[in-house]
Amino acid sequence: MTKSMLMTGNLAAAWGARLSRADYIPAYPITPQTEIIETIAKWVRNGEMDAKMVQMDSEHSMLTAAGSASLAGARVFTATSSQGLLYGLEMLYNISGWRAPMVLINVARALAAPITLEPDHNDVLAARDTGFLQFHAETCQEVLDLVMLAYRVSEDSSVLLPAIVNLDGFYLSFTREKVILPDEKDVSDFLPDYNPVNPFRASRPVSKGATVLNGSLYSYFKYHMHSSSLKAINVFERASADFESIFGREYSPVEPYMIDDAEFVLVISNSFSTIAKQAVKRLRERGFPAGLLKLRMLRPFPSSYIARYLSGRRGVAVFDQNISLGFGGIIYPEVLSALYHRRSRPQLILPVIGGLGGKQVTLNEIERIFEATRNELGSESPEPLFLMRKDELERVTKTISVAREAEI
Amino acid sequence: MKMELQSRYRTLRDIPQVDYLEPGGSLCSGCGGVLALRLFHKVLGKNVVWVNAAGCMTIIVNYPLVPLKSSWLYTAFASAPAGAQGIRDALDILIRKGKIPETENLKVVVVTGDGGAYDIGLQSTSGAIYRNLDFYYLCYDNQAYGNTGFQVSSATPVGSATATTPPFPSEPSGNSLRRKDLFEIWRAHKPPYIATLSSSYAVDFLKKVEKGSTFKGPKMYIVLAGCPTGWGYDPRETIREEKLAVDTGIWPLKEAVEGEVRHTFTPRALKPIEDYLVTQARYHHLFFPKKREDIIDSIQKEVNRYWEEASKREGFDIKLVQV
């Protein structure tokens, strides 16, 4: 029976694991993810979830256990954030190289130093090149649904790559929204049991993670992983079609919003998409031809979707809630590369950095982005926009002056 | 006296003929680590998955050549015990849920060098023992980072030259820091079984693997692994070197059952440590250009102190070497 509940993004992630019938959950606490593993711990102990959870000694160990359990044939779920993701980063490359399907939740949180709690995407984008597929959620419903979709894609025999589902700390992890909980039977129709390829079994010895001391062999395996990752786009499309027919909700690698006749489009992902949509709607009411393209799938990068939706626009702004220090936003050049060879590429693609460390983004700021995109049309070297409101800057200046006084 | 388990292994003739590690691997000739792995495997049988940390053994499985008749997973440098946890847990769950039959079960064995055991992987090892993981753990201890060219590790003994502790007048010992006592670090976690091994005492070796397998939980082993390239001796001498280490008392053979320590081999009289040191190039600077009696004596004193305490505690007689 389908039912709906008010739940946080974290709880939705835990429900994703439960409904996907995860067998094994190695865990390690970190804010703001911890509610996920606390919830699962409770379900496993009271018998509501038929799985084993084990609390490990670090994220590095947690991810090692996650990958090796997948190789032994268990459906694996785990979650982390920020420093934890980076602490285990070495293992992300190993898990994908092992071709071990699993789902890892990242509850985004900006990276130290300075140490902080609220989100940006430098953590999850540090995993960009690891081979993990990446799905980014805007709403609590999306968190739940993307976990199930991620398993379908990750375990597909033409993909066999692990997946990250990202949700923003605080903005989504601790925000309650209405979430429709699918029926267990429907989920098992959508997501059959995990059927591992050559798992560790007594009857058939296998070697995994073998040494490859040969550049051409190594290249072959990496190209193979790359091509499998690209196949995940089609696999996701097919899975989404099944998902829609069973659950009635539609998920594409990107989500266009008011884009049909938009002359200016904002590219954005994750929880700030909600406020950005609101701003687009307001601009439309005032006659400004704004539109939005939300990126749901970051790896594989949905270049063809981006080209399809953004070619022919006058101006595009790319909102990066991250910063590659010494360059700028991380997603910006990826969007650029998807458009560069299109004859009808936009006149202007404006880089925007905002929301670092969970810095709030307002409706007015989103509107400013659109205005700046229009104003910069024709510019040969558009200045990147670093969002900081006047009132924020005043507070920052004041805080810094307090710190200086304290020094004296 | 407690009744001892009747062992299958009483003389060298009892060493099983069957091998699960085929010859022709890509490791150095005379490698003490490979020999230990081979002996260990004979006791465990073929239903084994080795979970490996970065080190010399990593190149045993060198794609596409696999000399093992069992399964293998290379993890990373720091987290082989966590890799063992994942496999153990997954097999347990799948068997409990009826998804695979018990006949598909495997023994899960970590194989790591001393860098992985004493240094970078100490945390994940500690975690696995703490969680009472039902697994075997084999540390082949060649007393340095052998695979990268013999740099100092926290298992390197005092007096050993390594690539990062070259002896100079300012540092005449080469390495002057004392080895970590990994046996005691493990024992503080209270696993059911811990043992030190030497392939040169093969019956003692096999008995301990056999005995460990009667316990559920962590079964922890450190084997002295002669390293011809790092220690500097002829590859054919590995067994002789490993035996000298036991007979001079610098590599005690012992076990801890539920935390209770017992030496399984007690030499009636220790051979002088000098007899062992002089055979290896890593100690060359203790003898040339002039003999460093002071350093050799301090090593001998350390060995004597160890055996004096052990003999008092366990009540056996041993003749020490006068310094």
pLDDT digits (tens, 9 = 90+) for A311-335: 999 999 999 999 999 999 999 999 9
Q: Dump pLDDT digits (tens) for A92-107.
A: 999 999 999 999 999 9
Pick from B63, B83, B103: CB nearest A211: B63
B314 domain residue, yes or no: no
CA distance A11 to B187: 40
Q: How many domains does chain B have?
A: 1
What is residue B1's predicted lDDT score, i.e. its pLDDT? 44
Region A273-294: mean pLDDT is 98
Structure token digits, residue B62: 């060198």
pLDDT band at B26 (very low <50, low <70, confident <90, very high): confident
Give residue B24's pLDDT band: very low, low, confident or very high (50, 70, 90): confident
What is the H or E stretch that residue A299 is in? Answer: strand A297-299
- If pLDDT is split at 50, 70 and 90, which confidence band does A1 have? low
Interface pTM, i.e. ipTM: 0.97
Quick: pLDDT tens for A234-245: 999 999 999 999
- Of the pLDDT bands very low, low, confident and very high (cuts 50, 70, 90), residue B34 is very high
- Residue B317 near residue B311 (C-beta atoms within 8 A): yes
Chain A residue at shortest CA distance from B133: A54
- pLDDT at A160 > cutoff 50: yes
B74 contacts chain A (CB < 8 A): yes
| Cβ atoms of residues B75 and B82 within 8 Å | yes
pLDDT, one tens digit per residue, over B77-97 is 999 999 999 999 999 999 999
The whole-chain average pLDDT of chain A stands at 97
- CATH of residue B231's domain is 3.40.50.970
Residue-wise pLDDT tens digits, A207-226: 999 999 999 999 999 999 99
Q: Tell me what pLDDT residue A408 has.
A: 61
Query: Residues 6 or more apart from A329 whose CB is under 8 A from it?
Result: A318, A320, A322, A323, A351, A352, A353, A384
Phi/psi at A320 (nearest 5 deg)? -105, 115
Rg value, chain B, Cα: 20
- B254-298 pLDDT, tens digit per residue, is 999 999 999 999 999 999 999 999 999 999 999 999 999 999 999
Residue B98 lies in a domain: yes
For the domain covering A254-393, report its CATH number: 3.40.50.920
Q: Where are the beta strands (DSSP E) in chain B?
A: 48-52, 71-74, 107-113, 135-141, 193-198, 218-224, 253-257, 260-265
* A3-247 and A254-393 agree in CATH topology: yes
Going by pLDDT thresholds of 50, 70 and 90, the confidence category of residue B4 is low
Provide the pLDDT for residue A328: 97
A368 vs B33: CA distance, rounded Å: 66
- A276: pLDDT confidence band, cut at 50, 70 and 90? very high
Domain ranges of chain A: 3-247, 254-393
Q: How close is the nearest chain A Cα to the Cα of B28, in Å?
A: 16
> Under CATH, what is the fold of the domain A3-247?
Rossmann fold (3.40.50)
Distance CA A398, CA A384 (A): 26
HEC sequence for A18-80: HHCCCCEEEECCCCCCHHHHHHHHHHHHCCCCCCEEEECCCHHHHHHHHHHHHHCCCCEEEEE
Nearest residue on chain B to A217, alpha-carbon basis: B63
| B89 contacts A54? CB cut-off 8 A | yes
Q: Where is average pLDDT lowest: A39-43, A148-152, B2-6, B35-39?
A: B2-6
Instruction: Give the pLDDT score at A234.
Output: 98
Task: Find all residues with CB under 8 Å of A191, minimum gap 6, and list them.
Answer: A20, A21, A148, A151, A152
Q: B301: which 2 tokens?
A: 């004193």
Q: What is the mean pLDDT of the segment spanning A72-100?
A: 98
Residue A139 tokens read as: 């709403």
The stretch A2-16 carries a mean pLDDT of: 96
Mean pLDDT of A245-256: 98
Interface contact flag, A56 B84, Cβ < 8 Å: no
Tell whether the model's pLDDT for residue B3 goes beyond 70: no
Cβ-defined contact of B124 to A201 (cutoff 8 Å): no
A vs B: CB pairs below 8 A: 161
Q: What is the pTM of this model?
A: 0.97
Question: Hey, is B257 helix, strand or coil?
Answer: strand
pLDDT of residue B226: 98
Structural domain of residue B115, as residue ranges? Answer: 12-267
On chain A, the residues whose CB falls within 8 A of the CB of B120 are none
| Euclidean distance between CA atoms A118 and A108, whole angstroms | 8
Q: Which residue of A has its CA nearest to B132?
A: A54
Which member of A74, A90, A209 has the closest CB to residue B93?
A74
Residue A157 DSSP label: T
In a domain, B280, yes or no: no
Verify whether the Cβ–Cβ distance A200 to B63 is below 8 Å.
no
- Say whether B90 and A91 touch across the interface (CB within 8 A): no
